[in-house]
Amino acid sequence: KSIEYYEERAAELGAAASDWTNLMVFLSDGVPNIRGDGDDEDWCNPQNNAINCNNAPPNKNTGSGVDPWLRGELSYCFSGDVGCNQTIYKPCVLGRTCESSEMVKSFDSEFARLDEFNVHRIAVGVGGGSDVSVDSALYRIDNNPNKLR
């Protein structure tokens, strides 16, 4: 939704949008637990408790230049998928087996879109158990050049 906000704002402002500097603040515990948006992320745990995630329905690929989540390529357990809880493959894409794995920290396409809109990202850990360590999700999200290393 945040990317859509900047797209709509850019459409409204036209060329003037390039003069704006935008700020986005992320508040999180820094422990992501759901596989991404169709950036060809792998399964969180391909051999999860006798469920072979490699047998799960593949993402549909139309080869379009439109982002996967906009063209409806994700087959299941995508944002807003009410049927996700009923699929046996749910542990392949979200939950404890996915927490902080590489598959749930893949934000490249989102970062690229936000960079197009000159969005500066600040990530803030909320709560005592927040993961703000180097290479955590919050660390990756924050593009402040002066962040602690």
pLDDT in tens, 7-45: 888 888 887 777 888 889 989 888 887 776 656 667 776
Q: Is the pLDDT of residue 77 over 80?
A: no
Produce one character per residue of 101-127: b if its CB has 16 or more CB atoms within 10 Å, e if not: bebbbbbebbeebbeebebebebebee
* β-bridge mates for residue 123, sequence order: 26
pLDDT at 68 over 80: no
Largest Cα–Cα distance of the chain, in whole Å? 55
d(CA 36, CA 117): 21
Strand pairing class (47-48; 51-52): antiparallel
Please state the φ and ψ torsions of residue 87, each to the nearest 5 degrees: -85, 140
List of long-range contacts for 82-85, beta carbons under 8 Å, 24+ apart:
none
Model pLDDT, residue 122: 92
Condensed to tens digits (0 to 9), the pLDDT of residues 83-119 reads 666 777 777 777 777 777 777 787 888 888 889 888 9
Lowest mean pLDDT among 2-6, 31-35, 138-142: 31-35
* Alpha carbon distance 85, 90 (integer Å): 7
pLDDT-based confidence at residue 75 (cuts at 50, 70, 90): low
- In whole angstroms, what is the distance from residue 90 CA to residue 96 CA? 11
Q: Give the residue with greater pLDDT, 14 vs 139.
A: 139
Whether 69 shows a pLDDT value over 60: the answer reads no
Q: State pTM to two decimals.
A: 0.68
Q: Across all residues in the chain, what is the average pLDDT?
A: 75
